[in-house]
Structure 1
Amino acid sequence: MKITRSDLIKVCDDFIKNKIDKIDVENFASEMIYMDDDFEDEIVAAIIFEWDNEIINYEINEVNVKLWKKWLQTDENKLLEHNSWNVHIEPQKNICEKYNSLWKPINKKFKIGISDNWNENPINGLRHSQQEGTTGWFIWSGEYSDNNDFFKPICAEHLLQIRPEIIKYLGLEIGFRFLVDNKGYEDVWKDENIE
């Protein structure tokens, strides 16, 4: 039996609709490998092997399953960008060089402040001085607010799954700001009033 992209897309859809869970996805992959079935192409084979062992591959979660589905539909693999902090280091250095900033990387385990509307565009970022356990970064969309509950703390590494495209700005020095959108607009500047 040949395992096709359509077969895997159905598995993805069933997972996204909560008809199956990650154990079912792992079992499906293990069965396909055990049966030594023929795979439609290298992408199908790669995904089957990734699903077979979550410990050494990507976590089977909603974000990653949607990325696998997109890979099957478009040949565009964005899994590394959404799962590895290290792939963002060179882009951070490039942004710093482009905007005359020293590269000041953050600890991905430290907190950033993020607004509830983080998934809207454009998105703003501002880096203050670090406090204990924080990066100094504040991320928001829409109108800024001084309300105490405007920013919620999350570990910086959670941006991998929710907004990986902004990680390249997080190496900028204290006082830097950015305003970017999903259509390619980018404005980065140093705010001399921020310490």
Structure 2
Amino acid sequence: MKVTRQNLIELCDNFLDDKIDKTVIQNFAWAAISDDDFEWDNEDINFEINKTNVSLWKKRLLTEKDDLLLHNNWNVHIEAQKEICDKSNSTWKPINKKLNIGVSTNLEKDPINGLRYPAEKGTTGWFIWTGEYSEADDFFQPICAEHLLQQRPEIIKYLGLDVGFRFLSDSKGYEDIWYDEKLKNI
């Protein structure tokens, strides 16, 4: 089986344009792996086949820039969390990535804000939003913390900050991190 980089890019494009589903990609991969004549570089990725990951795979094929781990592996962010905590004079208090974070529905916008209250059962204590803050009851929706990897992996580095910390950042490199004593008593 001869597979070119262009073949793989076309496969990605077809998936991203909804011309094929993930079963086609799974079948293609199995056929390639099973073919004795196919030269495989023994790379074990095994990330979920979804729009984000296929877009990242296409980016890797086109540019050699690999962001798949940033969007799929929580542990890749631990050192960055510790650095943020050191820089901000915070104790590193990692969260359980299986617990919930309150997020606004418009996480794709900039800037992004976050604050950490004391955790309640099943939550991390983190609330993250973009755009105008609202007091509406439905402004924050719970999501599992590890799902932020696919949506906004660049904010995972802040989630080791201790209770009482806040952050504000944007895609242009602006960043502000500060301690707010009032958050500890809510």
TM (norm. structure 2) is 0.92
1:132 alignment counterpart: 121
Whether 1:105 and 2:94 are equivalent positions in the alignment is yes
Q: Could you list the runs of 5+ residues in structure 2 that have no partner in the other structure?
A: none
Question: Residues 81-96 of structure 1 correspond to what in structure 2 (within 5 A)?
Answer: 81-96=70-85
Summarize deviations over 1:141-174 as a string: whole Å, max 9, x none: 1111111111000010100111111000001011
In the alignment, residue 129 of structure 1 is paired with which amino acid?
Answer: P
Contact residue 121 and residue 181 of structure 1 kept, 8 A: yes
User: In 1, distance between residues paired with 2:36 and 2:167?
Assistant: 51
2:27 alignment counterpart: 27
Shift in Å at residue 38 of structure 1? 5.6
Whether 1:78 and 2:67 are equivalent positions in the alignment is yes
User: In 1, distance between residues paired with 2:61 and 2:88?
Assistant: 37
Shift in Å at residue 2 of structure 1? 4.0
Q: Give 3-state SS (helix, strand or coil) of 1:137's partner.
A: strand
Contact residue 3 and residue 38 of structure 1 kept, 8 A: no
1:53 alignment counterpart: none
1:166 alignment counterpart: 155
User: In 2, distance between residues paired with 1:117 and 1:23?
Assistant: 30
Identity of counterpart residues, as a percentage?
61
Q: Which moved more, 1:172-181 or 1:22-31?
A: 22-31
Shift in Å at residue 113 of structure 1? 0.4
2:131 alignment counterpart: 142
Summarize deviations over 1:73-124 as a string: whole Å, max 9, x none: 1111111111111111111111000100000111111110000111101100
User: In 2, distance between residues paired with 1:5 and 1:180?
Assistant: 36
Aligned alpha-carbon RMSD (Å): 1.6
Q: Give 3-state SS (helix, strand or coil) of 1:124's partner.
A: strand
1:15 alignment counterpart: 15
2:112 to 97, 120, 123: 123
User: In 2, distance between residues paired with 1:88 and 1:166?
Assistant: 9
